[in-house]
């Protein structure tokens, strides 16, 4: 009895030693790099795959990724951790938190980090809409990672049954089609309202139709920017959406159900949602699905849409060897091969021209035409001050207010004009507060 026990223990030890020899350096010798990320579901699985691929690709660093909730929750966790010096080395932060991160004093500019660690990254190779957002005064602030843009997903079977080949490229045309879908009883839910509708149906609408969202080139030209979207076509857009909601053409998913699942399950015929929905749609949709660019107003020459998604920030206060590991991972992420794999697996836009050209040369977009739609949409027309993107301080806060006010339109408590006036007024208070705190930055 005792001898068997001894034998099995020695056997285990031997196996352990073999395993350690096989993997080269043991886990303890590797420098641990902490990364907090904010995407879940299938996208989260792909992140874990990326991490394990990186860890296998070298033996000096061990990247540990932790899902910290959605973008706001991850940011809140970061803020709390930073105040007690428990921050991760890398943070994934959404474009809405860009100004907050940029002026936080808690980040290392990514070009400085890479140059110091001896990596040569071609910052000019990032595709134009991505570079236009993340490059501040000629220098990148963070590493563009998962960039997306909202596109119009539609159920091709339903459209065909109603006698349409594809969705119209104007809102007026799309409205007729959606009402036809309902009247012909093809579906009870022609369109689902996405959870981040303020991004896809308001901000992108404003950019594509070339309306100013705020003064000072949407915040690019100074912290003294003010919101002006209560004086543009956005008011008409909110009124249109309200009409659709009232007529049962646009359905609000509400709590307990992910809006995209209303589309993938076939309940709703269309949704304007992130291109990153590709992974969910490809896996779950059991009908003939397709996608198109977001419509524009009749008689308007459409501009590029704005990017969403997130970037990776290098956080201050970590030892030299950890920073070296962060740079090594950033360098790994920026490789065209990794970019290509990541884009294909998730549906995010390839962020470098090299990766895009590579995918194009392979004929990937011929086999997957919907994958090129976001790129087409992001590069429509010559970018203007209105379409380049948004740089508003505490944009999370003014976004929450905008959503709350538009909800008051859904409930009938306020007219679109009243709601947007109030939203602009409250949003401007936040901008002034931000300006006061960050004067001179």
Our finding on whether 437 is near other proteins (CB under 8 A) is yes
Q: How far apart are CA 218 and CA 131, in angstroms?
A: 16
Q: Taking the mean position of all CA atoms in its chain, how far away is CA 441?
A: 26
What CA–CA distances, in Å, run from 305 to 31, 155, 208, 241, 350? 40, 22, 5, 19, 16
Q: How many residues bind other proteins (CB under 8 A)?
A: 40
CB of 425 to other proteins, least distance (A): 11
CB 230 within 8 A of CB 417: yes
Q: Site residues for other proteins, window 105-144 (CB under 8 A)?
A: 105-106
**Taking the complex as a whole, how short is the minimal distance between the CB of residue 318 and other proteins, in angstroms?**
15
Q: Is 323 in the site for other proteins (CB under 8 A)?
A: no
Within 263-394, strands assigned E span: 268-274, 289-292, 308-315
Q: Between 59 and 404, whose beta carbon lies closer to other proteins?
A: 404
Separation in Å, CA 142 to CA 60, 90, 148, 244, 293: 23, 10, 16, 39, 28
**Closest CB to other proteins among 100 and 209?**
100
Q: Which two tokens stand for residue 264?
A: 């993938």
Q: Is 31 exposed, middle or buried (0-12, 13-18, 19+ CB in 10 A)?
A: middle
Beta pairing, strands 189-193 & 250-252: parallel
Residues 341-400 that bind other proteins (CB under 8 A): 394, 396-397, 400
Joined together, the tokens standing for residue 388 give 């380049």
Span from 109-117, 126-134, 220-228, 432-440 in contact with other proteins (CB under 8 A): 432-440
Q: Which is nearer to other proteins, 51 or 106 (CB)?
A: 106
**255 in contact with other proteins (CB under 8 A):** yes
Cβ within 8 Å of residue 78, ≥6 positions away: 36, 68, 87, 88, 91, 93, 315
Residues 59-88 that bind other proteins (CB under 8 A): 72-73, 75-76, 79, 82-83
Pick from 207, 253, 285, 359: which binds other proteins (CB under 8 A)? 253
Q: In a 10 Å sphere around its CB, with 0-12 CB exposed, 13-18 middle and 19+ buried, how is residue 365 labelled?
A: middle
- Binders of other proteins in range 409-428 (CB under 8 A): 410-413
Q: How far is CA 375 from CA 204, 306, 323, in A?
A: 14, 11, 33
Q: Does 408 bind other proteins (CB under 8 A)?
A: yes
Among 55, 117, 170, 267, binds other proteins (CB under 8 A): 267
- Minimum gap (Å) between residue 315 Cβ and other proteins: 10
Stretch of 97-105, 223-231, 279-287, 383-391 lying at the interface with other proteins (CB under 8 A): 97-105
The yes or no reply on residue 252 touching other proteins (CB under 8 A) is yes
Among 156, 245, 338, 345, binds other proteins (CB under 8 A): 245
Where on the chain is the footprint of other proteins (CB under 8 A)? 72-73, 75-76, 79, 82-83, 100, 103-106, 189, 245, 251-257, 262, 267, 394, 396-397, 400, 404-405, 407-408, 410-413, 430, 433, 436-438
């Amino acid at each position: 009895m005792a001898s068997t026990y001894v034998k099995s223990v020695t056997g285990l030890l031997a196996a352990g030693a073999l395993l350690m020899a096989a993997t080269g350096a043991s886990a303890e010798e590797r420098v641990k790099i902490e990364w907090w990320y904010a995407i879940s579901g299938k996208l989260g699985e792909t992140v874990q795959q990326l991490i394990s691929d990186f860890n296998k690709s070298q033996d000096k660093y061990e990247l540990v990724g932790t899902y910290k909730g959605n973008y706001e929750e991850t940011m809140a966790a970061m803020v709390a951790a930073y105040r007690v010096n428990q921050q991760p080395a890398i943070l994934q932060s959404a474009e809405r938190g860009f100004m907050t991160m940029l002026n936080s004093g808690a980040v290392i500019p990514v070009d400085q980090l890479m140059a110091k660690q001896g990596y040569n990254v071609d910052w000019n190779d990032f595709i134009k809409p991505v570079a236009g957002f993340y490059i501040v005064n000629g220098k990148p602030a963070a590493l563009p990672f998962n960039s997306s843009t909202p596109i119009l997903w539609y159920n091709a079977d339903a459209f065909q049954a109603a006698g349409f080949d594809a969705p119209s490229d104007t809102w007026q045309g799309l409205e007729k089609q959606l009402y036809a879908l309902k009247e012909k009883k093809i579906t009870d839910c022609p369109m689902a309202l996405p959870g981040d509708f303020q991004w896809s149906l308001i901000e992108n609408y404003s950019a594509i139709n070339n309306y100013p969202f705020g003064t000072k080139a949407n915040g690019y030209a100074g912290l003294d920017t003010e919101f002006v979207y209560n004086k543009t076509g956005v008011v008409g857009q909110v009124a249109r959406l309200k009409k659709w909601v009232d007529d049962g053409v646009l359905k609000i998913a509400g709590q307990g159900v992910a809006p995209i699942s209303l589309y993938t399950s076939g309940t709703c015929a269309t949704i304007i949602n992130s291109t990153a929905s590709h992974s969910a749609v490809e896996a779950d949709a059991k009908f003939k699905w397709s996608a198109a660019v977001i419509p524009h107003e009749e008689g308007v020459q459409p501009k590029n849409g704005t990017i969403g998604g997130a970037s990776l920030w290098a956080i201050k206060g970590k030892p030299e060897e950890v920073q070296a590991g962060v740079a090594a991972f950033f360098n790994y992420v920026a490789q065209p091969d990794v970019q290509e794999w990541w884009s294909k697996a998730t549906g995010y836009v390839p962020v470098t021209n090299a990766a895009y050209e590579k995918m194009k040369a392979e004929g990937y977009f011929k086999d997957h035409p919907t994958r090129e739609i976001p790129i087409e949409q992001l590069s429509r027309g010559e970018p203007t001050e209105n379409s380049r993107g948004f740089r508003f301080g505490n944009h999370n806060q003014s976004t929450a207010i905008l959503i709350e006010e538009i909800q008051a339109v859904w409930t009938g408590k306020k007219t679109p004009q009243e709601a947007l006036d109030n939203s602009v007024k409250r949003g401007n208070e936040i901008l002034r507060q931000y300006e006061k705190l960050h004067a001179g930055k």
